[in-house]
Amino acid sequence: AQSVTQLDSHVSVSEGTPVLLRCNYSSSYSPSLFWYVQHPNKGLQLLLKYTSAATLVKGINGFEAEFKKSETSFHLTKPSAHMSDAAEYFCVVSDPNQAGTALIFGKGTTLSVSS
């Protein structure tokens, strides 16, 4: 069975400071891992994905995540937060080897950015 745990339900940062959203996963095989962002009243947007090609993954809008197998972690970071980054973020795990496999979402982390 697969699962993800997002360690913080809410993270608050000031504009221009670093962002760290933490995610741990559980999987019995080498998983695919994703981060999605959801802005209010908008659809889920893929930020980045890990597919075993490289452990440090760069995504859109300056976000990146590092896959650490020994720690079973896939934390999302950004060097400098922007007001437009305020949104809900989901860490997601999937089995890349099964056809039509559903994505397994964490409960989400709400990122607030203050000026």
List of residues contacting another protein (CB under 8 A): 32, 34, 36, 41-46, 49, 51, 90, 94-96, 99-108
56 versus 99: smaller Cβ distance to another protein: 99
> Among 2, 79, 77, 71, which residue's Cα sits nearest to residue 33?
2
Minimum separation from the CB atom of position 38 to another protein (A): 9
15 versus 66: smaller Cβ distance to another protein: 66
| Residue written as token pair 């937060």 | 81
Hey, what are 20's tokens? 């760290």
Minimum separation from the CB atom of position 32 to another protein (A): 5
> Among 18, 44, 46, which residue's Cα sits nearest to residue 33?
46
97 versus 114: smaller Cβ distance to another protein: 97
The 8-class DSSP code of residue 101 comes to P
39 versus 79: smaller Cβ distance to another protein: 39
CA dist 69 and 46 (Å) reads 22
Minimum separation from the CB atom of position 81 to another protein (A): 22
